[in-house]
Chain A
Amino acid sequence: MPGLRTPLYDAHKALGARMIDFGGWDLPVSYPAGTLKEHKAVREAVGLFDVSHMGEAWLRGPGATATVARLTTNDVGGAAPGKAVYTLLCRPDGGIVDDCIFYKRSDTEYFVIVNASNTAKDLAWMREHLGAGCELEDVSAATALVAVQGPRAVALVDRLGRTAAGDGALAALPGFGFADATVAGVACLAARTGYTGEDGFELACAADAAPRLWAALLEAGAGDGVQACGLGARDSLRLEARLPLYGNDLDDTTSPLEAGLGWAVKLDKGDFLGRDALIAQKAQGLRRTLAGFRIDDRATARHGYAVVDRGRPDGEQVIGTVTSGGPGISVPGSIGLAYVPPAAAAAGATLTIDCRGRDVPATVVKGKFYKRA
């Protein structure tokens, strides 16, 4: 069966992208420049990502604020209009349905962008928990999403952008601010958000206008060293910035508290799905925590590798699991994330990871692996 294609499929082929299947979508894993160069372009100049496979929906109506307040762990309902909020959707048992970003346009109108692989599940979940006076419109198929990321991203988008507030309004948007804009003549919801650890924008536009937007950004950014970037760079960039990936680091069985996302859980904002379970979890103490680690040995720990304690009896030596890992590109060594018992996760502690039959020492690292200057 042929994979799903984004509106930019032909543009990727024209650039010579290497396409792979990603959750049923045909998406570029890399372009001829290769993942390392694409990654560095985002750290040093500007990169473009086609993330049109992600799901999008509107929640509208007089009950919209009450509905999003109940669905989300963060204070989405209390946000100011024009602000985007990262949040989790939790099950009543505290497990994570998805992590996503809500964009509050007003008390009666919210946009939401969810992970591609979870779109059907999330929209069904939201529909199931819609309050009175709130309607959900799935616009995933009609919406394209282009991320423009890197130190030159904001100036590039601003140069092509217009808002009702006039020229320069996009560059003036704060982090997690968003505005209705036209970029290269294409109507967009322009948000100062991203998944790379760099400054930049994510631009949601009509699917049929996406090729025009993409081409204009490539052309206008040529002098900035703009680089189209595939899924390979997207993953290495997000890992260095310690941004979790659903399906790897988060799933229905992990809780936001275990994942180190307690900052996006507002237990005192009023009731929401999962709140009671998370309060209980907090009171009882966590069984495991998502620890960052660095390996200075010549090895890379990858998804699924076991964290072991060889001092324990046979059969009980596995104490955790690596959920993400890869070589550091803008940081030394190789890096990753692993669920381990909290007692093993102190900063500077040594973890032992079974890398394909070889025990490799890793050092626990707190905070982001890469922080932009």
Chain B
Amino acid sequence: MSYPTDLRYTNDHEWLRVGATCVVGITQFAVDQLGDITLVDLPAEGHLVTKGQRFGTIESVKSVSDLYAPVSGKIAKVNALLRDQPELVNQDCYGQAWMIEIEPSDQAEVDELLSPDAYAALTAEA
């Protein structure tokens, strides 16, 4: 599987679009593992998160998974569409189904994110 080259990635199968802020979603690999998504629970805007901390949950017909903050910072925006249209995650995981936007508080954490090649290598082993 190939992954968008303009994004960065985590071991937890999240992608980040890095600019002044970090937009966060889950990868196609994660979507394929989960199957049909039935529920996405996200935190409130303004919430502070620490890297590695659970910030939400995603449920499919068969399973429930935690969403982990890929970097520390303040949650500046939350994608409200996903509350009533969780199926967007299956349809457009890199676009309409972005989940949160974080204002990162530690640039070093952003620099450590995986490159597309590194992430592709990780998923190839799985």
Contacts and interface: CB of A to CB of B under 8 A. Distances in A.
Those 4 A-B pairs whose CB atoms lie nearest each other, nearest first: A327-B38, A36-B36, A35-B61, A34-B36
A35 B36 contact: yes
Given A298-B39, A298-B41, A327 B61 contact: yes
B2 interface: no
A241 to B, nearest CB: 16
Nearest to A355: B64
B32 A300 contact: no
B35 A300 contact: no
B103 interface: no
5 contacts: A29-B35, A34-B35, A298-B41, A327-B38, A356-B57
Nearest to A236: B61
Interface of B: 32, 35-36, 38-39, 41, 57, 59-64, 87, 90
A56 interface: no
B36 A300 contact: no
Nearest to B66: A356
Interface of A: 18, 29-30, 34-36, 39, 232, 235-236, 298, 300, 302, 326-327, 329, 356
B39 A18 contact: no
Given A18-B32, A34-B90, A235 B62 contact: yes
Contacts of B32: 18
B62 A232 contact: yes
Q: Which residue of B59, B62, B63, B64 has the most chain A CB atoms within 10 A of its CB atom? A: B62
A306 to B, nearest CB: 15
B65 to A, nearest CB: 11
A154 B11 CA distance: 48
Contacts of B41: 298
B67 to A, nearest CB: 13
A329 B64 contact: no
A30 B61 CA distance: 11
B35 A327 contact: no
Contacts of B38: 36, 300, 327
A300 B87 CA distance: 16
B62 A29 contact: yes
Nearest to B57: A356
Given A34-B90, A300-B64, A232 B35 contact: yes
B60 to A, nearest CB: 8
A36 B34 CA distance: 12
Given A232-B36, A236-B61, A356-B57, 18 more contacts: A18-B32, A29-B35, A30-B36, A35-B60, A35-B61, A36-B36, A36-B38, A36-B61, A232-B62, A300-B59, A300-B64, A302-B63, A302-B64, A326-B61, A326-B62, A327-B59, A327-B61, A329-B61
